[in-house]
Structure 1
Amino acid sequence: MTPDMEQQLQALLDKQAIMELINAYCNAADRHDNEKFRSLYHEDAIDDHGSFFKGLAMDFIDTLPDIQANMEILHHNVTTVNIKLDGDRAEGEVYILAFHKISTEEGPLDLLIGGRYFDKYEKRNGEWKFTYRAVDADWAHLHQPSLVNLKNPIIDGAHIGRPGPEDPSYSIFDLLQWGQR
């Protein structure tokens, strides 16, 4: 294998590791798995979630139980991902569609956000993690009351996703376990 091919292979491996990090973030958000969240950020990482929080990611994770308390459904979908590598650091622009069903005093509402994450990553001790993540909202669609109907006969008998360890994925999977990337 030539040095150029070795460099290309390493770039592919690094980008795959970053993609797995991005996907693990979505899983942790949707399952409200805050311990998994902690494993995705370096200790000195910054998270910028706009009005919710801006500061150390570990402090942001401490606020998540309160933020997530009224979220009946979270469903993150990654679409376009642009990653630029520079040795053991990288930057990424990650397009996202994030659906939220939120309980309010007036009843549940649906919020669909199309946005992007502006990420910085570093590989330390051989592992890629976030050093910075900012949320960008490009558009949002709000509907109140909620249009979600999980009692519709067309989905009768289907597994229904839930936040936390009651989600059916935890009883089905052996390899994709709670708290793991």
Structure 2
Amino acid sequence: MTRRVENVSTSLEDRLALRELVDNWAVWRDAGDWDRFATVWHPTDGWMTATWFQGPAAEFITVSREGFDRGVSILHFLGGHSADVNGDRAIAQTKMTINQRASIDGVDVDVLCTGRFYDFCARYDGEWKIVRRQPIYEKDRLDLVDPSARLALDPELLHRFPAGYRHLAYLQTKAGFSVKSGLPGLTGAAVRRLYDEGAKWLAGSANPGDTE
């Protein structure tokens, strides 16, 4: 009985630590607390994929900081969380929204994208770190900051991207970012491949899947 209680306690401890790790990512990144933000990533293998960036965590921190200093407004809010833990490996999924404010053709807009952070995590020196973060983009919408304003979207550009992040990609493309197509959504081949990579990571694969 004592052994069982200890195992449950250890598991709960890991799950709480993983939740704190994800929370810290959002709070420190959005606050521009770059020194502490760097600590959530695995120091040698950290990898970030977003609509507008795919690369090592160190580079993501640099470009995020540059954008923050220029006034780029991207905020994150977190919801429900689940983690699968196997020894020193974990897959954490966290419901989230990405909120970006910018100007499209001179009109201020907010884009709200809803999805999940899908995090490949590993224990490093006794602490959980993010090895790879791959957002799953489930749906998004665009709202005018001033409801009385008028904005006509280019339908060809809008439908160039998947439905899960179509408006976010539109805004970011207009803002000058190069946006990656084919990222995982709620359903489809890309998200099925991600789940398969997650299962292999938990089983001990040498790498966390697609980091290119």
Q: Which has the higher contact order (CA 8 A, sep 6+)?
A: 1
Residue of structure 1 equivalent to 2:117: 117
Given the superposition, is the C-alpha separation of residues 27 and 134 from structure 1 closer, same or farther in structure 2, using an over 3 Å criterion?
same
Distance in 2 (alpha carbons) for counterparts of 1:54 and 1:98: 17
Distance in 1 (alpha carbons) for counterparts of 2:64 and 2:103: 16
8 Å CA contact 1:70, 1:104 repeated in 2: no
Deviations 1:28-66 (A, max 9, x none): 22212222221110121111113x211211111111133
Deviations 1:137-181 (A, max 9, x none): 11111123456xxxxxxxxxxxxxxxxxxxxxxxxxxxxxxxxxx
Structure with more strand by fraction: 1
Q: Secondary structure at the match of 1:14?
A: helix
Deviation at 1:97, TM superposition (A): 1.8
Q: Secondary structure at the match of 1:108?
A: strand
Letter in 1 for 2:141: H
Q: What 5-or-longer segments of structure 2 have no aligned partner?
A: 148-212
Deviation at 1:99, TM superposition (A): 2.2
The yes-or-no answer on 1:25 pairing with 2:25 is yes
Deviation at 1:82, TM superposition (A): 1.5
Distance in 1 (alpha carbons) for counterparts of 2:72 and 2:109: 10
Letter in 2 for 1:133: R
Letter in 2 for 1:128: W
Moved more, 18-27 or 98-107: 98-107
Q: What do you get for the CA RMSD once the two structures are aligned?
A: 1.9
Q: Secondary structure at the match of 2:133?
A: strand
Q: Secondary structure at the match of 1:42?
A: coil
Deviation at 1:104, TM superposition (A): 5.7
In the alignment of these two chains, the number of paired residues is 145
With structure 2 as the length reference, what TM-score do the two structures score?
0.62
Q: What 5-or-longer segments of structure 1 have no aligned partner?
A: 148-181
Deviation at 1:105, TM superposition (A): 6.3
Residue of structure 2 equivalent to 1:49: 50
Moved more, 12-21 or 101-110: 101-110
Letter in 2 for 1:45: G
Quick one: percent identity of the two aligned structures?
24
Residue of structure 2 equivalent to 1:158: none
Structure with more helix by fraction: 2
Deviating above 4 A after TM superposition, structure 1's stretches of 4 or more consecutive aligned residues are none
With structure 1 as the length reference, what TM-score do the two structures score?
0.72
